[in-house]
Amino acid sequence: MSPAEKRIADCILKDPALVTKSTLVFLAKEAGVSPGSITNFAASLGFSGFSQLKINLAQNLPAEGEVRTGAGSGQNRVLRSMIESARSSFEATLETVSEGDFSEAAGILAGAGRIIVIGFAYSAPVAEDLAFRLMALGMPAQAMTDSLAADLACSSLGERGVLLAVSHSGRTKEVLRCAQTAKQAGARILSLTSYAKSPLAELSKIHFVAVSNEALNYQVSMTARLTHLLLGDYLLELTAERIGAGAVERVDSILDVLEQNREAIRGGD
């Protein structure tokens, strides 16, 4: 490394957690280099920019539950570790999200003629939840958790269509096939994954990343699913704002339907 690169590396190694929450200008000042040097340093490591470097750092930091000596044992300790891992993921993700991307994605969803939400295996519950909430806003959304049916549906999306794909790895072949089909049909693709760099990210117009330690070894994505739900909820809140007063009316009508079903269930008892 050059002297400038060594200073940047020393700053990162000294306090990587701080760097994940720092701006490019702040790190440049701490290392005594120019902001351009930080960008070049990130590029030399194979990242597209400083933001991607921060995401990678956050993914490789231990969750707080792994470094604390918390009280308790057995199930209590496991539960504490799971809660700490989720909290760490939420906070790390907050530091890396782009408000501009969320705003643009909300506009795309609000103006969509048809929305297909896909997620397979562990990601299926997230996809179903997002689709249900979109329908509650009166949006033409449908959850697809069967890969063949999803691929067929994506082929007819068209230019006003939107594919919202949920995939922990962003590499699942069935998800990628659907994304490729949707893109060929002229649809726009939004995605939620746990990796900044993935084949699905490359196919997407806008890509959101849930930062979690599960990304280290492609572990089962329990914490990532929670963060995907959080990101999805925020995206839908912004979409509701784009729709305006009509969104409130639509939610009220959905609540009426739910209440009627509750009454029917109680009557059956």
Does residue 55 sit in the same domain as residue 69? no
Does residue 120 sit in the same domain as residue 38? no
pLDDT tens digit sequence for 58-117: 777 765 444 444 445 555 777 777 788 788 888 888 888 889 999 999 999 999 999 999
Asked whether the beta carbons of 241 and 137 are under 8 A apart, the reply is: no
Does residue 124 sit in the same domain as residue 136? yes
Does residue 104 sit in the same domain as residue 224? yes
Kindly tell me if the per-residue pLDDT of 217 is higher than 60. no
Residue 32: which CATH number? 1.10.10.10
Domain contains 147: yes
Count of domains forming the chain:
3
Domain boundary among 52, 75, 94: 94
Among the listed residues 127, 121, 179, the one whose alpha carbon sits nearest the alpha carbon of residue 153: 179
Does residue 68 sit in the same domain as residue 103? no
Domain contains 162: yes
Tell me the DSSP string of 202-244: HH-SEEEE---GGGGTT---HHHHHHHHHHHHHHHHHHHHHHT
Cα–chain center distance at 179: 16
Residue with tokens 């993700």: 93
First and final CA of the chain: distance in angstroms? 73
Expressed as residue numbers, the domain containing 233 is 99-254
Instruction: Name the residue with higher pLDDT: 255 or 131.
Output: 131
pLDDT tens digit sequence for 155-212: 999 999 999 999 988 999 999 999 999 999 999 999 999 888 899 999 999 999 988 7
Domain contains 264: no
Predicted TM-score (pTM) of this structure = 0.67
Domain contains 131: yes
